[in-house]
Amino acid sequence: MDVERERTEEESPQKKWINNMIKSAKKYHKLCPYYDKKTGQCLLMVTVEGRPGKCDRDGRFDGCPVFVKFLEKMYEYYTSRKKVLPRDFHDVVNQAYLVGLM
């Protein structure tokens, strides 16, 4: 049952889009684009979690829950407004402010 649910979630359009965005992000960024190397701050934390915070992953965004939550919110933003979903992370990277508008 759990395996089935997992599989369905894996194949959901949202999950698919998020995985594609992470794959695309890796093409452009070795480290998370929202990671401030000097201070260690996560620049997404305020918009996504509503509080400032440090990155405890040294900028490794693959599998980062904050990064995934950001993409989930972006997905909601686009689909709830019936907008075309970006196909490349390059088109999403500077749109974190949109999450704050939701």
| The only residue of 35, 71, 75, 99 in contact with ligand SF4, by rule CB under 6 A | 35
Q: Do 27 and 88 touch, CB atoms closer than 8 A?
A: no
Smallest distance, ligand SF4 to C-beta of residue 6, A = 23
- Least separation in angstroms between residue 96's CB and ligand SF4 is 10
Alpha-carbon distance 68 to 99, whole Å?
13
59 binds ligand SF4 (CB under 6 A): yes
Q: 21 vs 55, which CB is nearer to ligand SF4? A: 55
Number of helices and strands (H, E) in the chain? 5, 2
Pair 75, 64: CB distance under 8 Å: no
Positions 63 through 82 that interact with ligand SF4 (CB under 6 A)? 64, 66-67
